[in-house]
Amino acid sequence: MNEQLLLFDAGSETGAESPQVSESNAEAEQLRAENDELRNAIRMRDAREALTNELNAAGARSPDLLFATVQDELQFDNEGRPANIAAIAANLKQKFPEQFGSGQPDSIDAGAGRTNQNNFLTRDSLAKMTPQEIARLDWNDVRQILATNN
C-alpha cells in the first residue's frame, strides 16, 4: 500500500495526472455534454409546441412543416424559453400567406356554379319555358324538380 502512495505522490510531483483523475474528468465532460444535449432537446420541444400552438391559432394548414422551415431562427431567453415566437409567426404569415386561412382554396371563377339553380326552378317555371331554355338547364336539376314538385 505504501508503494501505491509513493507512486501517486511521485506522479503528482512530476505534474502527471493519474489515470483515475483523467477518467473521471472525461466522464464528467461526457455527462456535461449529455446534459447540454438534453437541455437543448427540451428547449426545442417547448419551442415547437409554442410555435405550433401560435400557428394553429392563426389558422396554419401545416404548422409542423412551417416549424421545420424556421427552427434555426428561434431565439431563447436566459431561462431557455422561446423569445421570438410571435415575430416568427407573423413573418411566416407574411412569407407564406397560402399556408393560412380557410380550409377551402379561393375559387378562380369567383364562385360560378355554386348557386343552386333549384332556387328558381319549379314545375310552373318549367312549363313557361321554351324547349330551348329547358335544353340549356342541367338535366339532373330538371329531373329533381319534376320528381319533388307535385
Residue 106, SS3? coil
pLDDT tens, 85-115? 999 999 999 999 988 876 555 556 655 555 5
pLDDT tens, 106-142? 556 655 555 554 457 788 888 888 888 888 888 888 8
Q: For residue 58, count CB atoms less than 10 angstroms from its CB and return exposed for 0-12, middle for 13-18, buried for 19 or more.
A: middle
The pLDDT assigned to 30 comes to: 94
CA 9 to chain centre: 61
What φ, ψ does residue 115 adopt, rounded to 5°?
A: -80, 145
pTM (2 d.p.): 0.52
Question: What single-letter DSSP state applies at residue 97?
Answer: G
Q: Which residue has the higher pLDDT, 59 or 146?
A: 59
Q: Which of 103, 116, 93 is nearest to 61 (CA)?
A: 103
Residues 57 and 66: their CA atoms lie apart, in Å, by: 14
